[in-house]
Chain A
Amino acid sequence: MAELEARAGGVQRPRPLSPHLSIYRPTLTMMMSIVHRITGAALYAGTLLLAWWLIAAASGPNAYAGVEWFMGSIIGRLILFGYTWALIHHMLGGIRHLVWDTTHGLEPAEREMLTLTTLVGSVALTLILWAIGYLMIGGPR
């Protein structure tokens, strides 16, 4: 940690450090901040699915059948389910951050409530969307 120490009058004196993330007790807002970043990174990779789907549709019926087969498989459905949740959670988390940008909702009780709402809301919306998908269309094929 040589770079954290400075010479003052010939004596090695440790420089003050600001508290690290690991020092704080985990809070919901902290966890959801991390989840927001993780879902963002997941959606980044997930754009490959969107690109595959669109390229296949533009390529022809055979390529499109391949995508439909994968999306309809157990693994495909799990990935799509995760993608749906990540998309909705990232969107609701983004809305929360936009609200905070206006300096509203930053009181302790308010920010906890907002954060809990995005978490519960994203799970609920994902389940509702998939229920609609299965009831109306029979799910991905």
Chain B
Amino acid sequence: MSNARHIVTPMRRVRGLGAARSGTGHFWSMRVTSVAAIPLTIALVVIVFALMGRSHAAVVQILGSPIIAVVMLLFILNSAYHMWIGMQEIILDYVHEDNLKFVSLMANTFFTFAVALACAFAILKLAFGV
């Protein structure tokens, strides 16, 4: 048994309430995605401003062009992972009742995956012109 385990009291261990032992993983993922989000957010703002007021045909052509499509996909996937972890953190901080907590955590996953897939599918459809 490692030294760290001794911090957890026997009662805590029985109830399964000790450290999850994966906290730093989320901490580091949050740092990685936030660093990536800086250039991607600036790129998104530039792209949205460049498309503002343009015709549908022009928007389709620009959003579907390879470089723009890849940048948009990177923004979406990076943001989805970032907000997935972020919302999980908020839920774990404020929702203490077990049933509501698990439902919220599940809903967070469903929402994030659905939004990310919807955005990614739309971009790919524009890019491949199907």
Contacts and interface: CB of A to CB of B under 8 A. Distances in A.
Interface of A: 37, 40-41, 43-44, 47-48, 50-51, 54-55, 57-58, 60-61, 64-65, 84, 87, 91, 94-95, 97-98, 101, 129, 132-133, 137-141
Contact of B63 (A44, A54, A84): A54
B83 A91 contact: no
Nearest to A51: B118
A54 B123 contact: yes
Contacts of B86: 40, 44
A44 B87 CA distance: 8
A139 B49 CA distance: 9
Given A40-B83, A43-B83, A57-B56, A129 B49 contact: yes
Contacts of A48: 115
A83 to B, nearest CB: 10
B105 interface: no
Contact of B37 (A54, A94, A133, A137): A94
Interface in B74-94: 76, 79-80, 83, 86-87, 90
Interface in B94-127: 115, 118-119, 121-123, 125-126
